[in-house]
Chain A
Amino acid sequence: MTTLPQTTAKKLGLVIDLDICVGCQACATSCKEWNTSGHSAPLSDHDPYGADPSGAWLNRVHSYELGEGAEGRTVHFPRSCLHCEEPDCVTVCPTGASYKREEDGIVLVNPDTCIGCKLCSWACPYGAREYDYDDGVMKKCTLCVDRIYNETLAEEDREPACVRACPTGARAFGDLADPDSAVSKNVAAREGFDLLAEFGYKPTNKYLPPRKTTSAHVNPIPVLKSETVSKPNGSMADKLFAWADQKLSR
């Protein structure tokens, strides 16, 4: 199992639109909520009401500032496992508990055979693996494998909990191996990119960049017609009234 599949039939993954995400944390809490009772159950919490609360979360939202001054911008940045095509987190696993599924490319941890050595988390450049101190095993985003094929759910609900919850529609789920899938098309149209592509793990999840406008204008600035512009002087009101009279009497 530790060896990676040569190819996978599908590359299921997420596409996250950084132009839309407002940082509401819905993806993070809905993920916690679903998965604490799902395939990875439980996602334990330590000191939940005390000085140092922490717990296993499979999805988190950062926020960053980019650039400086009025030209800068703030970006909310949700992150979870990217289900890479060639990740060392699978190959370093001594037990084979960490594996990548041939059928859909989902990277999973077998909770029954993981020994909790944490080496996979060391091998992940994204910090996407989550050790559960109480359970003693590694946990991670399952792409809600227990939802997406779940025949007890309505078909429209067979998507990851984070996508199901996202209020702004900043998250999409689909097969990134299929160039005709909605997610693939959107990635192509919006110039979607990989996180830390230079590292070479070939992440499946893609991010769509913020639009490159902040204080600049989306549309070209419409120019007010010069003949209707009056000089800012005492006659402005009179001109306005004359105009109004003329318009209304037409």
Chain B
Amino acid sequence: MNKKPEIALSAPVADEVKKTTCYMCACRCGINVHITDGKVRYIEGNRDHPVNKGVLCGKGAAGIMQHYSPARLRAPMKRVGPRGSGEFEEISWDEALDIATGWLSKPRNTDPHKLAFFTGRDQSQSLTGMWAMQYGTPNFAAHGGFCSVNMAAGGLYTFGGAFWEFGDPDWEHTKYFMLFGVAEDHASNPIKIGIGKLKKRGAKVVSINPVRTGYNAVADEWVGIRPGTDGLFVGALIHELFRNQKIDLDYLVRYTNSPWLVIQDKGAADDGLFARGEDGNPQVWCTDKNGFADGTSADISPSLTGARILADGRTARPVFELMAERYLEDRYAPEAVAEATGIPAEQIVSIAAELANVAFEQEIVIDQEWTDWAGRKQDKMIGRPISMHAMRGISAHSNGFQTCRMIHILQIILGSIDCPGGFRYKPPYPKQAPPWLRPHGKDDQVKNNVPLGGPHLGFPLGPDHLLLDGDDKPSRIDKGFTWDAPMSAHGMMHMVINNAATKDPYGIDVLFMYMANMAWNSSMNVKGTIDHLTAKDDDGNYMIPKIIYSDAYYSEMVSYSDLILPDTTYLERWDCISMLDRPISEADVVADSIRYPVVEPDRDVRGFQEVLIDLGARLGLPAFTNKDGSPKFPGGYSDYMVNHERAPGIGPLAGWRGEDGKTDIRGPVNPNQLDKYIENGSFFTHHLKPEQAYFKHANKDYLDWAADMGFRENKLPTIFQLYCEPVQAFRLAAQGHGDRQPPETHRARVEKYFDPIPDWYPPFEEDMIDEGKYPLHAITQRPMHMYHSWGSQNAWLRQITAQNRLYIHTSVAKSIDAKDDDWVWLESHQGRVKCQIKTMEGVNPHTVWTWNAIGKRKGAWGLDDDAPESNQGFLLNHLISELLPEGGGGYRYSNSDPITGQAAWYDLRVSIEKADGDGATEPMFEPLGNKSQPASPEKMAYGKEFKPKVTS
């Protein structure tokens, strides 16, 4: 017998633990980083953190491999070969910053339009946006235009919030949870924690998704809908609820514009606008007083029904009637939508019945007094325990804005916004609906060497707010806030390279981008984008003359850039996840957080935000420069995080303000603020009082406090806009009213789709192509262990997924006589892709799908040329056009939502046929040069040196 082996049962994990914030995706969980000898031994979730409460997802736990990735950039570089060659020369930071300052100075001095500054994955938009304002260019946005602007705009215009990460289901109380489409992207761990809670509690989870994977796999009921028809499905649910009179009338009267009167005067310039009183406030009809009243005032009992004759003799009808009539139309009956959605009518009827039952028979009552916005005491909080969540599965369709609004209308008629068991806002939400923020960037707002007068992005209320200059020329390079996409609240980053290279609407001098892989998986029509990046004029100069790019890794985009500013990994940097941007609040908890450098970089790299602040000072941007011309934040980003004030007492960080560090949220600068954050695990929380917990849109205690804190413009409630008047304002312009009207190419389109009561219409691509030729929908999702995480360079994550296959329904495979691993051609109107299939049952039979962004170009991301990602992995992006097929009149509209400009990459239609033999994926691109990067190791034994020693 052998001696019993000794095991080091109690070896210390590491020398020290540093608590910071994860950045493996957009979720921003708290992490404990265990470090020995400056090297990361182990990363786990921080139990005290409001976001993840100790848990950590598959990405977060693989962070070590991201941090030590061989694809990390080493030092600043300037391009020495042609774009795409990957030939670079390493330079010093001094030289890099000199070059950047030189390139950026000229447009600022001569024409700020000539700079386009766009950021991809970024959690510092309050800084980058302010930098761009200070610079004075109108051309700034983040990547929301091809991400999920439909969700943001749809929600914010309707109820001053959005699914996204701005609200959550009330996981503690909800009894019925509906999940629409792909949702693994934002709020990764909170949704996982929440779904776990619901399942354990026996609450029902219903998923509406063409694909039964991930969260949909654990749903109690899977609704395998046909892509792009969610609006029909939701419309049918609304139809059923109206038909059965299962709606919360009280809630509608209290919190929504459903009693507001809408002018019914076809052909008039104000047809479809609200009937307003002399004070400009919308009017309602009060039955008890038998007269009109101000719809925004308290203590009225407005009627939801009945046409009323206005003082001028015209008719007006309440929103409620118009809305009910719309959804009670036969075309929204369950039987009518069954075929198009692929959902049996009985299933729709039964889901509607369940919704009605849970909302009205199983209401939740919390014995908590609260006061409404008008000061009326309420003795309890009554909840309709139904919650919903949706993200890009709804968003990335050309009917996404209206579909998103329909989901919110469903929530609202059930009375389930910010009530116990319903959807809950996370502060600083709710905002006003829509937020009181208008876009800036018209000619008269853009001046040499002068900051822009206001934010770039906002929420137009009508044609007057469009960013159009003389002759209706777009002010912005991406044509945001034009008739192409009037309500493009997040800009349209996906159009920038195309537009700049074709000088439409104008040419630029410098393209400055951060963390946006536009030369590969972040673009539709990859080949076209690469052509634009390398397009030259007659003199042999690049059409986009200068490209500055910052990234931490050797992505495909690096090769197409001229000046590379290498960023750090997330463990080497300062960051603030700010209340001014997208904080980490939970429904009951106001929270923000920081990252701080927990390990030292071993390369000559700098955090992008440090560099941006440095460049701000070098360029002399007022907010970054003292009066004497010296830098205002010599300490860099951490200096800015502490000392910048957006308004008196309001800075990037809300915690431990004031000299003594005892003031929450709003207070004077505290020089020791960051120490406090680090002591507290790198986050700050402020708990709401129980009386502020629900009905935040109309809760006096919350509204007063939120206005004081600067979260809201004033103490007025948020009134839910079931009827969206700004949309009607654009429609009126298309009908020939007002000074600013759409051009003839756009007139019919604006009139048709700008419906103030959301109406479903077929996604554009399927409406324009021959459905017989392209019978299938093609959609994508990221694997849960890679969502938002650049996983293919991660030695552990790519062992899980190094290749994607095209998942097709068993019946589709049968129809083309193909089996697993066979190669097929997938073709769209834009092009074709060769890939391998995997058959499955849990997919809508009219839909094929794949894991997105697994396919990589040879030469990028530190992968060998024979990596599966580059040889078998493929992108559907090659099939997705940034433009729709040519329609009547020869005009090609962008492949976007007509209202917000959201890229409609889920509208893709394809055909499938078996391919000969095997081989590799197509299209195949030339390998990118990567001589500037170190060779990747052939073996790894990470952690060998940490092996605990038996000490007996």
Cβ–Cβ contact A165 & B56, under 8 A: yes
Report Cα–Cα, A239/B70, bound state, in Å: 68
Write out, one digit per residue, whether chain A residues 163-182 have a CB within 8 A of any chain B CB (1) or not (0): 01111111000000000000
5 pairs of A and B residues whose beta carbons are closest in the complex: A25-B58, A37-B943, A222-B357, A168-B196, A167-B192
Asked whether any CB of chain B lies closer than 8 Å to the CB of A38, the reply is yes
CB-CB under 8 A from B122, the residues of chain A are none
A42 at the interface (CB under 8 A from B): yes
Given that A37-B42, A244-B320 are contacting pairs, would A26 and B7 also be in contact in the complex, using a CB cutoff of 8 Å? no
Interface of B with A (CB < 8 Å)? Answer: 1-2, 4-5, 7-13, 41-45, 47, 52, 54-62, 64, 70, 188-189, 192-193, 195-197, 199-200, 202, 204, 212-218, 220-222, 224, 242-246, 249, 253, 287, 301, 303-306, 320-321, 324-325, 328, 330, 333, 347, 350, 353-354, 356-357, 361, 784-785, 793, 795-800, 802, 810, 840-842, 862-864, 866-868, 871, 936-944, 946-948
Contact B785–A29 (Cβ < 8 Å): yes
CB of B11 within 8 A of CB of A146, answer yes
Q: In chain A, what residue has the closest Cβ to B864?
A: A50
Are B2 and A39 interface neighbours, CB within 8 A?
no
| One of A81-89, A119-127, A192-200, A225-233 at the interface | A225-233
Encode contact with B along A22-35: 1 for CB under 8 Å, 0 otherwise: 11111011101110
Pair B330/A232 contact, Cβ less than 8 Å: yes
B-contacting residues, A124-159, CB 8 Å: 134-135, 145-146, 149-153, 156-157
Cβ-defined contact, B868 with A152, below 8 A: no
Do the beta carbons of A145 and B189 come within 8 Å of each other?
Answer: no
In Å, the complex CA distance between A170 and B7 comes to 29
Q: How far, in whole Å, are A171 and B497 apart by their CA atoms in the complex?
A: 47
Which residue in chain A gives the minimum CB-CB distance to B792? A49
Verify A45–B61 contact, CB threshold 8 A.
no
> Closest Cβ of chain A: how far from B426's Cβ, in Å?
19
Task: Knowing A72-B842, A248-B304, say if A37 contacts B353 (CB, 8 Å).
Answer: no
The listed residue (B189, B217, B939) touching A74 by CB distance below 8 A is: B217
Alpha-carbon gap, A102 to B333, bound state (A): 66
Q: Contacts A22-B784, A26-B55, A73-B217 given: A240-B242 contact, CB under 8 Å?
A: yes
Q: Assess the A248–B303 pair: CB atoms within 8 A.
A: yes
User: Which residues of chain A have C-beta atoms less than 8 A from B305's C-beta?
Assistant: 241, 244-245
Set B61, B243, B785: member contacting A33, Cβ < 8 A: B61
Q: What residues on B are CB-neighbors of A156 within 8 Å? A: 47
**Bound Cα distance from A189 to B367, whole angstroms:** 33
CA distance A45 to B245 in the complex (A): 62
Residues of A within 8 A of B188 (CB): 24, 167
Q: Which residue of B lies closest to A60 (CB)?
A: B800
**14 contacts across the A-B interface (CB closer than 8 A):** A19-B199, A20-B218, A30-B56, A48-B938, A48-B940, A67-B841, A70-B224, A74-B842, A146-B11, A150-B10, A151-B10, A215-B222, A237-B325, A244-B305
**Chain B residues near A241 (CB, 8 Å)?**
304-306, 321, 324
* Residues on the B chain within 8 Å of A244, using CB: 245, 249, 304-305, 320
A63 within 8 A of B: yes
Q: How far is the CB of A197 from chain B (nearest CB, A)?
A: 24
When the two chains form their complex, are residues A150 and B800 in contact, meaning their CB atoms are under 8 A apart?
A: no
Q: In the assembled complex, which residues on chain B have CB atoms less than 8 Å from the CB atom of A72?
A: 841-842
Q: Which residue of B199, B218, B222, B868 contacts A51 across the interface (Cβ within 8 Å)?
A: B868
Known: A24-B785, A232-B330. 18 other contacts (CB 8 A): A26-B56, A33-B62, A33-B64, A34-B42, A39-B947, A49-B864, A49-B936, A49-B937, A70-B224, A72-B842, A146-B8, A165-B44, A167-B55, A216-B221, A229-B243, A240-B242, A245-B306, A248-B304
In the assembly, what is the distance between CA of A232 and CA of B41, in Å? 65
- Chain B residues within an 8 Å CB radius of A73: 212, 217, 222, 842
How far apart are the CA atoms of A169 and B864 in the complex, in Å? 37
Assess A57 versus B44: contact at CB under 8 Å? Given A38-B947, A145-B9, A211-B220.
no
Q: Within the complex, what minimum Cβ distance (angstroms) separates B64 from chain A?
A: 6
Q: How many residues of A contact B (CB 8 A)?
A: 101
Chain B residues with Cβ below 8 Å from A14 are none
A209 at the interface (CB under 8 A from B): no
- Report the Cα distance A112→B192, complex, angstroms: 40
Residues of A within 8 A of B (CB): 1, 17, 19-26, 28-30, 32-34, 36-39, 41-51, 53-55, 57, 63, 65, 67-70, 72-76, 95-97, 99, 108, 110, 112-113, 134-135, 145-146, 149-153, 156-157, 161, 164-170, 210-211, 213-219, 221-224, 228-230, 232, 236-237, 239-241, 243-245, 247-249
Which residues does chain A contribute within 8 Å of B8, judged by CB atoms?
A: 39, 146
> How far apart sit A145 and B9, CA to CA, in the bound complex (Å)?
7
Question: Which chain B residues border A65 with CB–CB below 8 Å?
Answer: 840-842
Asked if B2 and A96 make an inter-chain contact with CB atoms under 8 angstroms apart, the answer reads yes
Across the two chains, which residue of chain A brings its CB closest to B936?
A: A49
Closest to A71 in B: B841
Is the pair A49, B243 in contact by a Cβ cutoff of 8 Å? Answer: no
**In the bound complex, CA of A149 to CA of B249 (Å):** 58
For A47, list chain B residues within 8 Å (CB). Answer: 864, 938-939
Q: How far is the CA of A210 from the CA of B325 in the complex (A)?
A: 42
Smallest Cβ distance from B924 to chain A, in angstroms?
A: 15
Task: Using CB atoms, name the residue of chain B closest to A54.
Answer: B799
Q: Is the CB of A21 within 8 A of B948?
A: no
> What residues of chain B lie closer than 8 Å to A151, measured between beta carbons?
10
Assess whether B800 is in contact with A25, with CB atoms less than 8 Å apart.
yes
Complex Cα–Cα for A75 and B867 (A): 29
Query: Do residues A152 and B10 form an inter-chain contact, with CB atoms below 8 A?
Result: yes
Question: Which among B4, B220, B943 is the interface contact of A36 at CB below 8 angstroms?
Answer: B943
Asked whether B193 lies within 8 Å of A165 as measured between CB atoms, the reply is no
Whether B784 and A25, one on each chain, are in contact in the complex, defined by CB atoms closer than 8 angstroms, is yes
* Assembly CA distance A21 to B192 (angstroms): 9
Chain B neighbourhood of A63, CB < 8 A: 213, 217
* Structural contact, B246 and A224, CB atoms closer than 8 A: yes
Assess the A53–B798 pair: CB atoms within 8 A.
Answer: yes
Bound Cα distance from A112 to B3, whole angstroms? 12
A1: chain B residues at CB < 8 Å are: 1-2, 4
Could you tell me the distance between the alpha carbons of A153 and B222 in the complex, rounded to whole angstroms? Answer: 42
Within the complex, which residue of A51, A167, A236 is in contact with B189, where a contact is CB–CB below 8 Å? A167
Task: A44 to B148: give the CA distance in the assembly, Å.
Answer: 39
A23 to B781, CA, bound (A): 14
| A49 contacts B863, C-beta separation under 8 Å | yes
Q: Hey, which chain A residues are within 8 Å of B218, CB to CB?
A: 19-22, 210
**When the two chains form their complex, are residues B864 and A74 in contact, meaning their CB atoms are under 8 A apart?**
no
B839's nearest neighbour on chain A, judged by CB, is: A65
Whose C-beta in chain B lies nearest to the C-beta of A113? Answer: B2
Question: Given the complex of chains A and B, what is the CA–CA distance between A48 and B937 in angstroms?
Answer: 7
Contact of A68 with B941 in the complex, beta carbons under 8 Å: no
Set of chain A residues within 8 Å of B353, measured between Cβ atoms: 221-224
Contact of B200 among A20, A25, A55, A248 (CB under 8 A): A20
Task: Compute how far the CA of A207 lies from the CA of B715 in the bound complex, rounded to whole angstroms.
Answer: 53
**Chain B residues whose CB sits within 8 angstroms of the CB of A51 once the complex forms:** 864, 866-868, 871
Q: Given that A34-B42, A96-B1, A146-B948 are known contacts, is A221 also in contact with B939, CB under 8 Å in the complex?
A: no
CB-CB under 8 A for A165 and B45, given A49-B795, A146-B7, A213-B220: yes
Decide if B222 touches A70 in the complex (CB within 8 Å): yes
* Structural contact, B242 and A236, CB atoms closer than 8 A: yes
Question: Which chain B residues lie closer than 8 Å to A108 at the CB level?
Answer: 5, 7
Which of A22, A150, A248 makes the CB contact (< 8 A) with B11?
Answer: A150
Q: Are B5 and A110 in contact (CB under 8 A)?
A: yes
Residues in chain A near residue B47, CB distance under 8 A: 156
Determine the chain A residues whose CB is within 8 A of the CB of B62 once the complex forms.
Answer: 29, 32-33
Chain A residues, Cβ within 8 Å of B795: 45, 48-49, 53, 55
**Nearest CB of chain A from residue B790's CB, rounded to whole Å:** 14
Task: Decide: A76 and B217 in contact? CB cutoff 8 A.
Answer: yes
Partner of A50, one of B192, B253, B867: B867
CB-CB under 8 A from B287, the residues of chain A are 245, 248-249
Among B12, B324, B347, the residue within 8 A (CB) of A240 is B324
Q: List B contacts of A249 (CB < 8 A).
A: 287
Is the CB–CB distance between B785 and A25 below 8 Å? yes
> Distance (Å) between the CB of A88 and the closest chain B CB?
18
